Each structure stands twice: as C-alpha cells, then as structure tokens.
Structure 1
Amino acid sequence: MPSEDLDLPAESWQWPESTWRGHVDSVRAGRRLTPDRWPGGARVAVALSFDSDHETIPLRDGETSPGRLAQGEYGARAGAPRILDLLARYSVPATFFMPAVSALLHPEEARSYTRDGHELAVHGWIHERNMLLGRDDERELTARALDTLTTLTGQRPVGIRTPSWDFSESTLDIMLDLGFAYDSSLMADDEPYEIVAHGRPTGLVEIPVDWIRDDAPYFTMDRYGSVRPHSRPRDVGEIWRDEFDAAYRDGGVFQLTLHPHVIGHRSRLVVLRELLDHIGSHRDVWFATHAQLCDAARTCLDDTSPSSPAPDAPEHP
C-alpha cells in the first residue's frame, strides 16, 4: 500500500486518483504468455491441479474435533489414492499443491506424487490466510513450507499457490525473493501471463485459477454454517467440459483446481473420469504439470516478436 494511504478517508469514493490507481497497479496482468502452438504441436494445454489440504483446513482455524479432522483425513485416506489411480490409468500428469503440515502428516503421499511423475508445489504452511499475516510471518511460513517439501521429496518446488488465492502487500516480493518460477493464485485471464508490479514486468509467470474451475464452491459442506452443496456432479462436469471446449477452440489453456477431500468421493470422481474421456476424444491435446506449462509460457518472454498483452494491460518491451 502506498505510504500516502495511511491517512485515507474511510470512503473509497473520496480517495485521490493516486491512491486507487496505486492499488490497481500494485499487481497487474502483463503480457499474455500463449505460444502459437503448445509443445508437440498441440492445440490446447490441459493443466490439472489438486490442492491436498486434508486436515489443514480445520487445524488452521483451531478446530480439533475428530469429526472435522476426519473430513480432511478422507482426502488422504480415500481421495488421493483414487485420484492417483485415475491419473495413472489415463497417463495424465498433474500438479499437487500441498500445505507443509499436510505433507508432514502424510509424508509418503507427498513422496508418491513426485515418484509417480507429478509435480509437488507449495500451498502454505498450514493453509494459513496469508492476507492476514505480517511480512515477516508470511515469509517465514512460506520459506518453511518450501524447505519442508524439498526435504521430504528431494525436489525443490518451483511453483506456489497461496492458501488465500490472493496476495498480501508482501506476497509478490516474497515469491520473487524465494525464487519461485510461477504462481497460480490470481484470476486476471484465462491464459498464463507475466505479473507486472507498478508497471514493471517481474518475470514471474501467473497460471490463473478461477472459482468456475474449482470443485469446492460446488460441493463444499459446512454443517454449522450456511455453506451447502447445491450442484449435481454431472452439472458441474458440463461446466468444465464447456470450459475445455472453449480453450480448445481458442488454442489456450484449460486449468482445473480440485481437492482430494472434495472430488475424491465416488459419485464425484465419475465426473473427472468423464471429463478425461471427453478431453481424450480430441486430437492435439497436451497434458502438462503447472511447471511444464510455466516453461512453455516462459518461451514467450524470450520471443522477440510483438507481444500480445492482455486487455487493458500496458505493452512492455
């Protein structure tokens, strides 16, 4: 936040232009990073991801009842093995974003991801809300998570997805300082793009997410709250098929975010299997981990041809 914002009026309509423009420009979508063709001459890139949160959601909130923890344990005990079996059956690589505490609770699961040829990436320490942390705490937890996954698997993660699906004032600097190649937390485009900070390209690749392509909004259940599942699994499958079909027509990216404790139930995993069948019926499809997608997108940064900026994004040399 700009220093002049310390004494801001309470109402945003009273802010001077320098204030609201400063907030908008702090983290922005820059150049769209979509090559003319994906590796192997593919028309579309498909990047599946799974957030293996497991018990960290209730633990983050200080909820330690066996019932709440069991909901998360389901993801490790039943969901993740089913997902790995399904991915192996279709020979599809995926990216697993895993909080470090989840990996410490289930170390063999974390190692199985990389052993089976998938990518393991950072998803915070205990699924903390990074938006509520001070800079020092956020950096310490992110670095600790990065070191934990590296120690468990022998492979240093190159990507991160913030637990909040958002950036604090410090998040971008922390990502750059810790050497991440890509982030997958923001929603400014359908296609990968370079993150721009205050008008300056950062070199950090963003692989955007969206709630449309996430299982949690459709299927999450909170017994004591107002959150209730409101969608039939096959209705959600239709939305995701339409998303893929549009990405195929555009020659872009179909990115999907799922959770083992959510999608891993029997009636819902059917939808993922049917989606993979639908995608497999198309020619020239490239299944990639988020790290592989980042590498392909990064070739656009080295391209000397004119850039293709996202709408409303400034062009950069």
Structure 2
Amino acid sequence: MTGALLITVNVHGIGPEAANIPEAELFGRDAHGRYTYRVGLARVLDALRNYNLPATFFWPAAEAERLPWLVERCLQEGHELACHGRAFEDHAKLERDEESSVIGEAHETLQRLSGAAPRGFRSPTGTLSENTISILQGLGYLYDSSFLDDDCPYALGQYGGHQMVELPISEGLTDATHFRRRVTQDRAEELMCEELSALLAVDGYACLTFHPRADIGVGRLARLPLIERLAKLAVDHGVSPKLCSQLAQHVRATSAANAIEYVGE
C-alpha cells in the first residue's frame, strides 16, 4: 500500500494567458492571474504553515522569475520546488530539440533561483510529447506528475524514464476543476472529499492539486480551510502528507526490490 497524500500547488499567475496574448493586452482583464502575485500565493503559504502541511510547488520558470522571494519562502518553509515548464508551452507540439531546449532552460532557471536542481516535473498545459520523459530522464529527474491514467504511482520505464516514477493526478482532486464550473464552495468540498475517500481506498494514494489564482483556486480566504479539512480526511484514512520526491523515492526503491525478488524467483 502506498500510504501517501500529496499536496501540490501549481503556481499560475498570468502565465496561461500570457502564453498566447501579449502581456500589455492583459492589463485590466484576466486579473485572477495577478491575484497570485499580490496575495494568493502568499496566503496559500500562510495556510500551509499554519496547518503544518508540506507541499510540492510546481513552478513555471517564468513565474519563478517574477516571484523569487516566494520561491525562497517555499524552500525556507520546507516545501519542495518542482518544474512546471518554462512559460506554458504545449509540449505535445514541440519537436524534440525545441522541447529539450525549453525544458533545459526551465531546469536551469529553477536551479539558479533555488540553489538545487528540481527533481520533479508537471506539464504546464496537461500535455506531453513522446520525448518528454526521456528528456527529463537525461536531466536526472526522479518523477513526473502529469498523467491521469492510473489511480496509483507507477514506474515510467516504458516511456523512457527508466529511473523515474509517475505520480498521477486526478481532476476530481483539483480545485480549478470545480471552481471553474462556479459550483458553491460547499459543493466543491463535497465532491473533493468524495473523490479523496474513494481514491485512498484503492491504494492509500491521492494527489491534491491547488492553485493560488483568484476564483478558480483556493487563494480566497474563505477557501483556504479546505486544504486543512482535506488533509485531515486523509489522516482519518490513515494516510499522511508527503512531498512528491519522498514518495517517488519510496516507489522507486520498492519497484527495484520487487524486480530483484522476481528475478531471484
């Protein structure tokens, strides 16, 4: 049994819009992205500190360069920094050399800002190419957390990540899935609790994904307690919060041990 709850934060400011619209044209519109910079991300960090919860923050390099002081705060407060691409490129549309350059640039930026190479990756747009995993493998990544194709972590050898682990996500455990539909906060929490309980019953694994943007994420003050209540629900199921790299190391070690045992038989 896996026995881990992952609390993850996708650091999205205006990046999703700025990938396709000149930033000058975003002034006065799409302000929910700027909310991240002004108060949203700091409030999420405050909540995690108050609740004593560890989290993995997936940073696009472009957003990290805007907010280096919050990158530093994430690390100072014991959270993990992982890569979320460069500037919201659609990786499925990139040729291998271009994708390698994009990931390499993002990797180097995050390493420079944090002082350590990121060990995890999540697609900034929800898409990967057939080359993505092998490119990450070449940079020494430990895990990816982009896929929706399983309930439990698994090894990525078949995709070129022979030393890597997939930590799958769930749309039902993503705040934006519900808040984009303008459901009430009570209804969003009800849906996420139902999904969390069901997934934890499978293998004791679940991945929560939060966003600090206004209205489609948990950055608003009234929504922040949702983080703690979901974490408490997991603890009630006997599952404790872990950083993505901690779980990935455990899964990789377990997979290697099982492979040795199988060969021995």
The answer to whether TM tops 0.5 is yes
Q: List aligned pairs for 1:157-306, cutoff 5 A.
A: 157-197=118-158, 202-220=162-180, 229-261=181-213, 262-280=217-235, 282=236, 284-304=238-258
* RMSD across aligned positions (CA): 2.3
- 2:89 corresponds to: 128
Partner Cα separation in structure 1 for residue 9 and residue 166 of structure 2? 17
Q: Report the CA distance between 1:157 and its aligned residue.
A: 0.6
> What one-letter code is carried by the residue in structure 1 that aligns with 2:242?
A
Partner Cα separation in structure 2 for residue 306 and residue 246 of structure 1? 32
Partner Cα separation in structure 2 for residue 277 and residue 193 of structure 1? 26
Residue range with higher mean Cα deviation, 99-108 or 72-81 = 72-81
Q: Report the CA distance between 1:243 and its aligned residue.
A: 2.5
The verdict on how the C-alpha distance between 1:174 and 1:114 changes in structure 2, with shifts beyond 3 A counting, is same
Q: Report the CA distance between 1:306 and its aligned residue.
A: 8.9
Which of the numbers 115, 119, 123 marks the counterpart of 2:76? 115
1:122–1:161 contact (8 Å) kept in structure 2: yes
Q: Does the residue aligned with 1:208 lie in a helix, a strand or coil?
A: coil
Partner Cα separation in structure 2 for residue 150 and residue 70 of structure 1? 29
- 1:93 corresponds to: 54
2:164–2:252 contact (8 Å) kept in structure 1: no
Q: Report the CA distance between 1:164 and its aligned residue.
A: 2.3
Unaligned runs of 5+ in 1: 1-35, 39-43, 221-228, 309-316
Unaligned runs of 5+ in 2: none
- 2:21 corresponds to: 62
What do the CA deviations read for 1:192-234 (whole angstroms, capped 9, x no partner)? 0012437x872320000122121222223xxxxxxxx331122
The verdict on how the C-alpha distance between 1:57 and 1:68 changes in structure 2, with shifts beyond 3 A counting, is farther
> What one-letter code is carried by the residue in structure 1 that aligns with 2:223?
R
Identity percentage of aligned residues: 31
Q: Does the residue aligned with 1:169 lie in a helix, a strand or coil?
A: coil
* Higher RCO, 1 vs 2 (CA within 8 Å, ≥6 residues apart): 1
Q: Report the CA distance between 1:251 and its aligned residue.
A: 4.0
1:234–1:271 contact (8 Å) kept in structure 2: no
Q: List aligned pairs for 1:30-109, cutoff 5 A.
A: 36=1, 44-64=3-23, 65-68=26-29, 70-109=31-70
Partner Cα separation in structure 2 for residue 178 and residue 68 of structure 1? 37
The verdict on how the C-alpha distance between 1:217 and 1:67 changes in structure 2, with shifts beyond 3 A counting, is farther
**Which structure would you say has the larger Rg?**
1
Q: Report the CA distance between 1:82 and its aligned residue.
A: 1.3
1:97–1:120 contact (8 Å) kept in structure 2: yes
How many pairs does the alignment contain? 258
> What one-letter code is carried by the residue in structure 2 that aligns with 1:269?
L
Q: Report the CA distance between 1:122 and its aligned residue.
A: 0.3
Asked if 1:149 corresponds to 2:110, the answer is yes
TM-score (norm 2): 0.89
Q: Report the CA distance between 1:71 and its aligned residue.
A: 2.2
2:85–2:124 contact (8 Å) kept in structure 1: yes
What do the CA deviations read for 1:94-115 (whole angstroms, capped 9, x no partner)? 0000100100011111111111
Q: Does the residue aligned with 1:46 lie in a helix, a strand or coil?
A: strand
Q: Does the residue aligned with 1:147 lie in a helix, a strand or coil?
A: helix
1:58–1:68 contact (8 Å) kept in structure 2: no
What do the CA deviations read for 1:242-284 (whole angstroms, capped 9, x no partner)? 233234433421111111112211233243233234334x264
Partner Cα separation in structure 1 for residue 69 and residue 230 of structure 2? 28
Partner Cα separation in structure 1 for residue 261 and residue 219 of structure 2? 40
TM-score (norm 1): 0.75
